[in-house]
Structure 1
Amino acid sequence: MIYYRVAFCVEQTPVGNTEPINSHCQALTQQMVWKWRSTLLTSPHALFTLLRAYSYIPKENVRVFFASSEAEMDDMLVRQNAGQISSSVTADQFMSGKRINTMDIKRLEFELNTDADHDEAYTFAMPVSIAERMAWIALLRRRQQGELES
């Protein structure tokens, strides 16, 4: 199940060089700070209804977040506020058809998960069944013959 949640931009803080580039502008970018403005939603229909209710707010100041759990949703908001990758799109992107599919959301959450060390070395153990052993021997033979890259 995919959960949806809406956040609004509550402030924009300057990031970068504030010295003038020329007499008319400054080298300044804005870091947006996001805050939840909805509860967890479980249906796209409820999300569309909510976005229509907030149609008076500029679409770039509204973000739609996607996650597979409540805890992951809060992590995505923290990441977005830190300027890191998150599973969210602007309301304008969402309304125009931009979606994040379930597999992409779960893949991103898995890659960002810090609970376990995914960089541990793999320890090979010979398979127990004859069929699995024959498959490994066939793969080893193909690699030795140069058919497979290491």
Structure 2
Amino acid sequence: MIFASNNKWYLYLLVVLMIPGFTGCSAIKDLKLPTLHRQDTIKKNPPKSFAVIRAVGYAPINEQMGATEQVKELQAMRASKLDAYRELSERVYGQKVASNVTVKDMILGNQSLEASVYGVIRGARVLKSYRVKNTYVTEMELDFREVYRVAMSMQPTIDADTSYLGSSEP
């Protein structure tokens, strides 16, 4: 008999929870998602000046994997470009540094230091790629005028005057 009365409470609880307004989920179905209309666009004021940052990436040619010298040079070219992107990313976003040191009986034990960078670089361009002895070098630049142009093209605005961005032609 006790078992049957417990089942009734579970049944009552289930019925109460299914009534709209008693659950937290009912607010979700009433949620209105914002829609973008012409009146919702944002007026953007551009900065007065834009920074340009440069980065240089390096890669050793002989250390690359490849059967021929030409393949190794192509691999080094790619690696130096990625190294330049990494440096640009460090300058724009900074670098995350994590350190761990163990001490036991007042004696310094294991030490580790890790650095990482994460970011998205848009609008960078290669200035030069060239070989210096056994190293491939890539010079890149990131013009924030181009970054601003890319960012504004991804957001709706009501700016009619885009002359401050310069020509869209390279």
TM-score over 0.5 (shorter chain): no
Q: Smaller-chain TM-score range?
A: under 0.3
Greater strand proportion: 2
Q: Please say which structure displays the higher CA radius of gyration.
A: 2
**Quick one: higher RCO (CA 8 Å, sep 6+), 1 or 2?**
2
